[in-house]
A = this chain, B = another copy of it.
Amino acid sequence: MQKKHILTCCLSFFFLTFLTEQATHAQAKKGERPNIIVFLVDDMGWQDTSVPFWKQVTELNKKYHTPNMERLAREGMKFTNAYAMPVCTPTRVSLITGVNAAHHRVTHWTSPNQNTNTDYPDTTLQSVDWNINGFSPVPNIPHTFYGTSLPAVLSQHGYYTVHSGKAHFGSAGTPGSDPIQVGFHVNIAGNEIGHPASYLGQTNFDRVANGKSNRNAVQGLEAYHGKDVFLTDVITTEALKALKKPISEKKPFFLHLSHYAIHIPLDADKRFMDRYLKAGLDSTEAKYASLIEGMDKSLGDVLQFLDDQKLADNTVIIFMSDNGGLSTTPARGGEAWTHNLPLKAGKGSVYEGGIREPMLVRWPGMVKPKSVAEQYVIVEDFYPTILDIAGIKKPKLIQKLDGISFLPQLKNASLTNAERQLVWHHPNRWIPAEGPNIHFASAFRKGDWKLIYDYRKGKLELYNLKTDIGEHFDVAASNPKLVKQLAQSFTKQLKTWNAQLPVFKKTGKQVAWPDEVVGQ
């Protein structure tokens, strides 16, 4: 008994020492507010990385090489149930407002051109009057959601805020198209466009046709025109350059490093092509994988920069993508809707392949290395979380936040809340082709259960994500009570947000609310 007691004491002492050291480590930086980097990738799928986000290493994981994401996972926390919206602008607006898409009404991707509805015409449903011009930092701009942006709050509270890369917060001619007006101190190459005309400096990031410049030529990088440089690299270099000022002034910074990669056009990042061609990938998929590795190289450059500047310990990095991996063929190689397996479907869909994202967070001293959080989180949670990280309490905001801070999970990965309710609302038609719930569909998650509502069919599907991550087995018919409960909660939430529902062209009647189709 004596020995056992001594051992317990030793262990207690060890843990106390360990905890004290941890606390000291964090406290060393007390007073210094942490720098915050949101590293956002465009169109990157849940499996587009060598970091396994599922319970096993998949063939897709083996296809890609992302050593710097692996490093981030090793040094930080992996979120295996992180979500965005099925297309990009809704996600980006949720990120900078903390508001759900059903609520901010930017439910679809905004055209670079003002007052242009990007919904593809549908024969059955009339699309909703959504905020087709995106986010606005200024009131009374037609068809926009007006709010206090995350960079604006951070700027107001002493952060030096830098945007680099794709913005796509609002359409041209509205204040939301300009990251400076949105609230950033610095804007590098961001405006109303949702993807680049080209990734190549040699073509001035443009794709001239018939002597005319492309609408999506990337602006603001004239210094690189004609040079043999790749867009992913350029916006990284420029972003890190812009950080010199707050670093020298000892001000905390917020960097929104928002890659155009890996959105189409699939220009080969020739620095990385060889590996994939040698591995037998077709040229399309090799280009895609090269874009991924180029993006990962950017992450490596950021990590190296932080090391060199001795800032790694006081900088939080959040890695995220804005929607599921594109899985139509073309533009992808191989077989359609297989690019996010085991998840179903891809970009555009409310099935998991369209919304589940690779998310990583590193925060030395606060976030445990190699930790894994299974609690589901969603992109509007970034706003309140980042306010928490920055220590900004009760800021004055125009909008009411829908997101919930995941700071508790960052401190303790095992915290879960199966009562949390998530909503994806996409009352829009994405593309001409049909595909797995890529048009006019919404979804609702609570615990392991996911309800999917196809507005054109007027049908609810129910999946158990724990046993059926591939959403192959609709168990709605065998769980009528549960479907009813979930449909009621789903409807209540949609109504609370005054969500918009499409209308049948034939009858002029609005589609039913989820709880109205139960038992039909």
Contact = CB atoms under 8 A, between A and B. Distances in A.
> Which of A58, A281, A472 has most chain B Cβ within 10 Å?
A472
Interface stretch (A302-310, A353-361, A475-483, A510-518): A475-483
B59 A473 contact: yes
Given A280-B478, A280-B480, A477-B281, A59 B341 contact: no
Contacts of A58: 467-468, 473
Secondary structure at chain A's binding surface: helix, strand, loop or mixed? Answer: loop
A496 interface: no
Nearest to A341: B472
A62 interface: yes
A478 B479 CA distance: 44
Interface in A133-166: none
Interface residues of A, number: 26
Interface in A40-80: 56-60, 62-63
Contact of A280 (B342, B472, B477): B477
Interface string A332-343: 000000100110
B338 A59 contact: no
A473 B60 contact: yes
A447 interface: no
A470 interface: yes
A452 to B, nearest CB: 15
Nearest to A471: B59
Contacts of A472: 59, 338, 341
A433 interface: no
Nearest to A338: B472
A279 interface: yes
Given A338-B472, A470-B341, A464 B281 contact: no
Given A62-B467, A338-B472, A467-B62, A478 B57 contact: no
A144 B266 CA distance: 57
A62 to B, nearest CB: 7
A476 B62 CA distance: 14
Please give the count of copies of this chain that the complex contains. Answer: 2
Contacts of A479: 280
A480 B63 CA distance: 15
Contacts of A464: 59
B281 A467 contact: no
A515 B62 CA distance: 26
Contacts of A477: 279-282
Contact of A468 (B59, B281, B470, B480): B59
B478 A281 contact: yes
A91 to B, nearest CB: 27
Nearest to A282: B477
B279 A478 contact: yes
Given A341-B470, A470-B341, A476 B280 contact: yes
Contacts of A468: 58-59
Contact of A467 (B59, B282, B475, B478): B59
Nearest to A478: B280
Contacts of A279: 477-478
Interface string A285-321: 0000000000000000000000000000000000000
Contacts of A62: 467
Nearest to A57: B467
A486 to B, nearest CB: 15
Interface in A322-348: 338, 341-342
Given A338-B472, A472-B341, A467 B56 contact: yes
B281 A475 contact: no
A260 to B, nearest CB: 27
Contacts of A475: 59, 280
A343 to B, nearest CB: 12
Nearest to A480: B280
A363 to B, nearest CB: 31
A163 to B, nearest CB: 37
A50 to B, nearest CB: 13
Interface in A245-298: 279-282
A231 to B, nearest CB: 28
A342 B473 CA distance: 11
A55 to B, nearest CB: 8
A57 B473 CA distance: 13
Nearest to A467: B59
Contacts of A473: 58-60, 63, 341
Interface of A: 56-60, 62-63, 279-282, 338, 341-342, 464, 467-468, 470, 472-473, 475-480
10 contacts: A56-B467, A58-B473, A59-B464, A59-B473, A279-B477, A280-B476, A280-B478, A280-B479, A281-B477, A342-B342
The 6 lowest CB-CB distance pairs between A and B, nearest first, are A280-B477, A59-B473, A280-B478, A279-B478, A59-B468, A341-B472
